[in-house]
Amino acid sequence: ILDMEFYDLMTHKESISLRQQIAYCYSANKKASSPANVYLTGISSKALDCMRVMNGFESWPTFKIENKSFIELFPKEDLVYLTADAETELERVDPKKIYIIGAFVDKNRHKGVTLQKAKDLGLKAACLPIKKYLKNIKGSKILTVNTVFEIILKTM
């Protein structure tokens, strides 16, 4: 799931960056030996207009566009929100779980909003074990939407 409910917190430039990252997700999914079913949830008309710049966006195979929130579409107990702010590291990808990625580019202006959303909804939250594997990397450990998507896609 790509959670589009943070769209209004982004600048125009950030929304264009997100659009490109979602296109990269589509490309990776299309090339995958076992493509995932991807939901863009909570998509507003403004976000949809931005995405429609990409011809054929609304008919991408394996991508489903929903204006409803993921919480209305899937059982709460099956959901795991992936957020860099979570304290719990994702040890392994459980194919029975549904993973949510905040479709959000903000250059760290809105720190903690995805974790807070997960808490508010009573969802499990986890981060990728970046610190464990990239100990010597200096700077931000925040990954792009498409990078997180590709990591999950390749480990399913």
Could you list the active site residues? 106
> In terms of C-beta density within 10 A (0-12 exposed, 13-18 middle, 19 or more buried), how is residue 21 classed?
buried
Distance CA 109, CA 132 (A): 25
Q: How many CB atoms lie within 10 A of CB 138?
A: 6
Distance CA 35, CA 92 (A): 19
Rg (CA), the chain: 15
